[in-house]
Amino acid sequence: MKIYNSLTRNIEEFIPNEPGKVSMYTCGPTVYHFAHIGNLRTYICEDVLEKILRFSGYDVKRVMNITDVGHLSSDADTGEDKMVKGAQREHKTVMEIAKFYTDAFFKDCEKLNIKMPDVVEPATNCISEFIHMIEVLLEKGFAYKAGENVYFDTSKLKEYYVFGNQNEDELMVGVRDDVSEDSNKRNKNDFVLWFTKSKFEDQALKWESPWGVGYPGWHIECSCISMKHLGDKMDIHCGGVDNMFPHHTNEIAQSEAYLGHKWCNYWFHVHHLNDETGKMSKSKGEFLTVSLLESKGYDPIVYRLFALQSHYRKPLTFSYETLDQTAATYKKLKNRIAAVKAEGDVDEAAVKEWHDKFAEAVGNDCNTAMGLTLLYDVLKSDLNGSTKLKVIEDYDYVLSLNLLKAEEAEDGDDELSAYVEGKIAERAQAKKDKDFARADAIRDELAAQGIIIEDTREGVKWKRA
C-alpha cells in the first residue's frame, strides 16, 4: 500500500508502527451547523482510506473527536466560539446545539455510507486530559501564561512549519473571518491552550482549572483525544487540506513537545470542493448540504460517486451539471449490474485474483477512479454471473455505492405502481397542455390516496405518505 504523506511531500510505502495494525485519527466536525458537502468530501475520502486498509487486511482502529467547545470563528483563536454563535442564532443551549448537529452529521454520514469510526469522543468529555497536557507543557517550558490565558510558545521548537508550507497566503486559508491580533502572544504563531479570559464574556461552558475557570483551545482537543485512545505513537492522521495550518501544525507542535518524540508518521489531507468561481465558502450563495441535494431529487450516493470519480489530492469542482452526469452514470451502472444473473458456481480463485487487483489499484494512494475502472472491467469480463456478483460485492465494501441494492420502486406493489405511473403520465400531459388546474387536481387526488409525488431533476418520483 502506498500513500502520499503531507509531512514528507512524497508518496511512500505505508508501514504501520505495529505490523497488521493501523491507528487512525480523523478531525471531527465542529457541531454548530449542518455539514457542507465540501466537508463531507473529506469524510468520504477518509472513509475510503479506512476501508482500503481493511480491504488490504489491516486491523484498523479509527478515532474521531466532536468539537463542541473551543473552536473560534477564526482557526487562529480569535473571534467568538462557533458553538456559542450557533446557540445564539437558534436560541438554544450550547449542549442542545451540539446534540442536534452531531446527530445531523451522523445522519448525513449514514446516507453517504460513511462508516462510524470505532471511537467518537466529544471534546467536553476530556477536560481533565486537556488540563493534564497543558500542565506538562508548562512544566517543560513549552507554554506560558499571559493575560490570564495559557499559550503555546512556538519559539521553543526547532521547526514549527513542519508541512514545509511557508507561503503566508496559503497558510491563512484556515484563518478566515476575524484576524485581530492578540497582544498577549509572544510570537505571531503562538496559540491558546486554555482560555480564562477572552474578549467574549458570554462563553457558555467553563471548567475549573489550575489557571482559573475557563475553557480549552481547539487544537489541544485532537492531540489529547487521539493519545487517549491510540497511545503516543499514531500511524495516520487525516483531515481537510485547510486543517494543515494552523490546526495540524499546532497539534504536532504541542503533541511532540509533550511526548518528547515523534508522534504521527503519515498525514493524509483531502483537497477542497470548489464551485466554478473558486473556493466554495459557506458564506457565498447556496449552503450545500446532503438534505438540499435530496430535496432536489438526488440520491446522496450519487454525491459519493461524484467524490470517488476524482482523486482526493485534487480540488474538485462542483456543479449541478456534473452531478446530473454522475446521476446518469450511476443509474446506467446500477442497471448493468442488475442485469447480471447469478448463474454458475462462484470461481473463488478468480474472486481472489480480482480482489488483489483492486487492492493494488486503490492501494496506490487511494486511486478510487482506478477502482471504478476495474469495476467496469469486471462487468466486461467473461466471468460467469455468480462470480461477477461476488467480485462486485467485494469491491462495494470499499466503494460503498449500494451496487447490489435493488431499486426501491421495483419491489413495490405492481398494480399500484401501474396506477400511479398512469396518473403521473396523465399529469405530465396536462402540464404540457398548460392545464395546470388538471395537473394539480391529479396531484391532490393521489395525495388523498396517500401517494406523494415529487418533481425532481431525474423526473417525477413517488412514494407512500
Q: Is residue 238 within a helix (H) or strand (E), and if so which, with residue range?
A: strand 234-240
Beta bridge partners of 144: 151
- Residue 152 CB, shortest distance to Zn ion, in Å, is 15
Cell numbers describing residue 420: 400511479
Provide the residue type at 279 as one letter: K
Looking at 20-28, 127-135, 147-155, 360-368, which segment touches Zn ion (CB under 5 A)? 20-28
Helix axes 348-362, 368-380, angle to 10 degrees: 150
Nearer to Zn ion by Cβ, of 27 and 72: the residue is 27
Please, what is the minimum distance in Å from the beta carbon of residue 289 to Zn ion?
A: 22
Helix orientation angle between 94-111 and 82-90, rounded to the nearest 10 degrees: 100
Nearer to Zn ion, 27 or 340 (CB): 27
27 touching Zn ion, by CB under 5 A: yes
Q: Site map for Zn ion, 324-343, x if CB under 5 A?
A: --------------------
Minimum distance of Zn ion from residue 242's CB (angstroms): 11
Answer whether 403's CB lies under 8 Å from 334's CB. Answer: yes
Nearer to Zn ion, 109 or 340 (CB): 109
Measure the CA–CA gap between 198 and 246, rounded to whole angstroms: 19
Q: Which stretch binds Zn ion (CB under 5 A): 23-31, 85-93, 136-144, 285-293?
A: 23-31
Q: What is the DSSP string of 159-226?
A: -S-TT----HHHHGGG--S-----TT-SSTT-EEEEES--S-TT-S--B--TT-SBEE-HHHHHHHHH
63 part of the interface to Zn ion, by CB under 5 A: no
Question: Measured from the CB atom, is 123 or 442 closer to Zn ion?
Answer: 123
Q: Does 241 bind Zn ion (CB under 5 A)?
A: no
Q: Quick check: 199 and 118 in contact, CB under 8 A?
A: no
What's the angle, vertex CA 67, arms to CA 61 and CA 68, rounded to 5?
135
The nearest distance, CB 237 to Zn ion, in angstroms, is 8
CB of 384 to Zn ion, least distance (A): 48
CB of 222 to Zn ion, least distance (A): 3
Of the pair 29, 371, the CB lying nearest Zn ion is at 29
Backbone angles phi, psi at 48, to 5 degrees: -65, -45
DSSP SS3 for 273: strand
- Closest to Zn ion by CB, 264 or 391: 264
Stretch that binds Zn ion, among 26-34, 200-208, 255-263, 408-416 (CB under 5 A): 26-34
Cell representation of residue 202:
458570554
Stretch that binds Zn ion, among 27-35, 143-151, 200-208, 433-441 (CB under 5 A): 27-35
Smallest distance, Zn ion to C-beta of residue 442, A: 52
Nearest to 236 by CA among 266, 208, 257: 266
CB of 124 to Zn ion, least distance (A): 15
Instruction: List binders of Zn ion among 197-226 (CB under 5 A).
Output: 222
Beta bridge partners of 5: 10
Nearer to Zn ion, 27 or 205 (CB): 27
Contacts to Zn ion by CB under 5 A: 27, 222
